[in-house]
Amino acid sequence: MFISSAFAQTAPAAAAGGNDMMSNLTGMLPLVLMFVVLYFVMIRPQMKKQKEHRAMIDALAKGDEVATAGGLLGKVTKLADTSVSLEIANGVEVQLQRTAIVQVLPKGSVK
């Protein structure tokens, strides 16, 4: 009894034919909209932030005062392609990867 009523309910939908494709597209619309919102809310700002960080790292110069991801503050003494030498105290230098630099500080911040 239940099986025959189930077949009876799906029969008119199958007979429509063209409406089935439209309902599939309408069903996909919320997924597409969610992806578009996700792109503009999360992905695009993150890409912009990465681009700004890359420009800051490329613009580093000897004598700049910087902060690292680990919290060290220091003055840039030497620059290489992938690393930076940082003077964190008088006579104390550490070598870091360029990507560890998170912020260039105003002159006179590090004493």
Reported as a single tens digit per residue, the pLDDT across 66-99 is: 999 999 999 999 999 999 999 999 999 999 999 9
State pLDDT tens for residues 18-45: 578 888 888 889 999 999 999 999 999 9
Domain membership of residue 90 as a residue range = 61-105
d(CA 31, CA 48): 24
> What's the confidence (pLDDT) of residue 56?
95
Higher-confidence residue of 69 and 15: namely 69
Report the 10 Å Cβ neighbour count for 101.
Answer: 22
Domain count within the chain: 2
6 with 51, same domain?
Answer: yes
Asked if residue 55 has pLDDT above 90, the reply is yes
36 with 11, same domain?
Answer: yes
- Calculate helix-pair angle for 18-38, 2-16, nearest 10 degrees: 80
Residue after which a domain boundary falls, among 38, 55, 72: 55
CATH number at residue 97: 2.30.30.60
65 with 51, same domain?
Answer: no
Q: For the chain, give the number of residues.
A: 111
